[in-house]
Amino acid sequence: MGSDGEETKVKTDADAEIVDVVVCSRFTVSDGIITMTVLRSNSLLLLVLVLLWFLVLTDHVTKAAAKTPRTQQDKGPEDTELRLQRSRKPSAPCFSASGPEPGDPADAFKVLTLDGEFSYEPGAARGSSTIIHAFTNKSAFLECLWSSEESVDSLVQDLPDSAQLLLLSMDESAVTDALWMREQLHRAAAKHSSKKEVLSRIHISPVPVFSLGNWIPYVLYNWGRKHGLAQAVFTSDRWKMPAIIKRLDARYDWLKGRWGQESFNLTDAGNGCEPSPYVAGAVAWVSEGNCSFFTKVQNMFKSNASGVLVHALPGNPIQDMNCVKDECNSSLDIPAAMVHLEPAVAQALRFGQKVNVSFQATPCPNFFISIDQQGALAEMGGFLYPSFSFVSWQAQWFDFYTELQTKLHRPADVLSVFDRALMHGHAGAVATVRLPSGWLDMDILELDVSLSCPSRRDVSCAHWDHTVQLFVCCDRLGPYCNAELGRWITAFRRGTGHWLTDVSPLLPLLDSNKCTFTMKTPPWAMPWMVSLNLRFSVSNETGTRVDKLRPFRVMSLYSGGTFDKNYNNRFQPIKFTVPASTRKVELFAVITGHGYDENRCCEFCVTSHHFIINATFNNSLIFDSAVSPLGCATQVKEGAVPNEYGTWLYGRGGWCDGLQVAPWRTDVTKQLDLSGSESNTVFYFGLFEGRNPDPSQEPGYIIMSSFFVFYK
């Protein structure tokens, strides 16, 4: 029983790494084709708008935020570091070898916008984050991000109140790009009249990035993008030059294929709504419309095509090739992408000339950077598909982080266990510390944990969402040595995770003044840097000291195991007496499901966990959100790291990527006989969708530590 000495479990993982710009992983889909033409302002309107802009600019200056200088009280341990770094001036030119890194304070800057001047002052913008987006129409991903109604609507509807958004363009066409972005925003805002306020927090600059004259270009150009601009390269014997155009890869659950390095024959297959005998071994060139994207790709797959290029009809924007409804149940092993109709290609195919196509990615600047509410520069992570939801999620996380800072400033006796210690291999990170004097008077124990990476950039962060477990041993001969004190899941290639977890019920595990803490991931995982502070404090519940309850003993119950048909045969009822002078009993459990059998158990299936007390009381924990496509995106407000480079959005069995595993706590006092005679029983079992598990493929597993906690 308990997790004594148990090896950290293997993570046999079914999550895919995002290997390119648009690994889309959506079950839910807005149906059909977005019937939107790119509304290029007619020239008269354009002229009027430009004139208006100049008029507005001359007499109107807005400030990002009211000036509220930092007070001494605001300063935490982080601030000391920030001030030290601020004395080092980041250099502005984009070719310089050094400049600000993630975590550095953002220097002041001013940018002209369509509505006057946007001015960022360090300190003045406290409580507000600033997200900077640089648009370029050389990216099909960004074209789709901006022309998809769903995407722009989500920006207008969901951008948190605390976020300011500064929109820029990288190109010569910055003025028309700015007006176009404004048009898209105004159209979305017109549909959501209650959300018009958001427009006052969105600042659009007509000055191209290369003319900004501040540090922004340095950061955009140097914190390069992981994937680059996705492009299709067409060649033909008749052409002197290849035709190179942007492409948007459709990489969703329903589409598993990836483009390779090779060159393919390109073959016209009409609208792709019927199979074609001519496309075997070639990339099929099909037009949008008349049937769904899925139907086209499925037809070409059945016709043995090597890949599919769907081209937009003239005047239409590039779209996200979502599946619709039941289509999303199946998957096709073929790559597919959307491009514009390239006239030279269409003409060559019409005249029966041979055209080859290959696929490339050209390195490019970052499209998104940000300044958090504390004034530090931050990366924005990966966007799985073209939607502004990823901007909102990052801004939500900044809200979470600010709240966390407030909590960390509450009075507590803080004991540092790890300070950016290396956690790697079989040993993990290990430290032996002496507990602060007076800790026995404290009734609150919180774990302040952060996971960072070898360098300050996310590129140095470990892949995968691995389990991290913290074990403690104080009295080597005592019953609690190496019990699990906390559990977290790493963020896939992002180094910003920071969480505060209340584990007060486990205070009795600290059964001596000197304790050894061990923090581990699977030994083959890439290294993480861990920081752990124990925060001891006194609860401020109203009531006299006499009423205050303190946990004085824990009783280890069940641990999990392989989730197969014998799972429940391992567990026997436990008979127990409640220790004398107990006034409250709590069930405390940390349970997570991992692995991937044919039912996607236990990571992506609904398991439930039942502790039956006295054969009567059914205490159940059900992992409903494990099948919810956005189950973990909804946890960003609780600290789940957003915009990871894996499929972090999906709900999971009791956990999320980049989040602490929140302990499950239930007061069971009333279910028990507290008299002290041997009269209580507890019994645990776990179910898959309400039934005993019975997988036919390699089963998943449950990691569990569970206790009764006795308070007096």
Q: Which residues bind ligand NAG (CB under 6 A)?
A: 38, 40, 137, 143, 177, 180, 235, 263-265, 280-282, 289-290, 303-304, 326, 329, 340, 354, 356, 540, 610, 612, 614, 618, 620, 671-673, 679-680, 690
Which of 197, 673 has the CB closer to ligand NAG?
673
Q: Which residues of 190-223 are buried (b: 16+ CB within 10 A; e: fewer)?
A: eeeeebeebbebbbbbbbbbeebeebbbbbbbbb
Least Å distance between CB 655 and ligand NAG? Answer: 20
Identity of residue 35: T
CA end-to-end span of the chain, whole Å?
24
Asked if 422 contacts 529 with a C-beta cutoff of 8 angstroms, the reply is yes
Structure tokens at 670: 């009333």
- What's the number of CA atoms in the CB half-sphere (13 Å) around residue 534? 26
The nearest distance, CB 338 to ligand NAG, in angstroms, is 12
Give the residue at shortest CB distance from ligand NAG. Answer: 614
Query: How near is the Cβ of 442 to ligand NAG at its closest, in Å?
Result: 14
* CA angle at 55 for the pair 53 and 61, rounded to the nearest 5°: 80
Select 4 or 150, whichever has its Cβ closest to ligand NAG: 150
Round to whole Å and give the CA distance between 228 and 361.
5
> Residue 173 Cβ, how far from ligand NAG at the closest point, in Å?
6
Long-range contacts of 408-413 (CB under 8 A, 24+ apart): 408/76, 408/448, 408/500, 408/535, 409/76, 410/537, 411/537, 412/444, 412/446, 412/535, 412/536, 412/537, 413/438, 413/439, 413/442, 413/535, 413/536, 413/537
* Shortest distance (Å) from residue 325 CB to ligand NAG: 8
| Residue 78: CB atoms within 10 Å | 13
Which tokens go with 703?
Answer: 């990691």
Which residue, 85 or 356, has its beta carbon nearer to ligand NAG?
356
CB of 614 to ligand NAG, least distance (A): 3
Nearer Cβ to ligand NAG, position 124 or 134?
134
Phi, psi (degrees; rounded to nearest 5) at 472: -130, 140
Could you tell me the smallest distance in angstroms from the CB atom of residue 86 to ligand NAG? 31
Q: How far is CA 634 from CA 625, 630, 662, in A?
A: 10, 6, 15
> For residues 279 and 481, which CB has a smaller minimum distance to ligand NAG in the complex?
279
CB of 500 closer than 8 Å to CB of 408 = yes
* Closer residue to ligand NAG (CB): 458 or 597: 597
**Integer angstrom CA distances of residue 427 from 8, 12, 424, 430, 515:** 11, 21, 7, 7, 17
Nearer to ligand NAG, 7 or 673 (CB): 673
Neighbours of 161 (CB within 10 A): 10
Q: Which is nearer to ligand NAG, 119 or 265 (CB)?
A: 265
Give me the least distance between CB of 290 and ligand NAG, in Å please. 4
CB of 189 or CB of 282, closer to ligand NAG = 282
Q: Report, in Å, the least distance between residue 15 CB and ligand NAG.
A: 19
Nearer to ligand NAG, 266 or 510 (CB): 266
Nearest approach in angstroms of CB 387 to ligand NAG is 18
CB of 373 to ligand NAG, least distance (A): 20
In terms of CB distance, is 218 or 710 closer to ligand NAG? Answer: 710
Q: Establish how many alpha carbons lie within 13 A of residue 709's alpha carbon, considering only the half-sphere containing its beta carbon.
A: 22
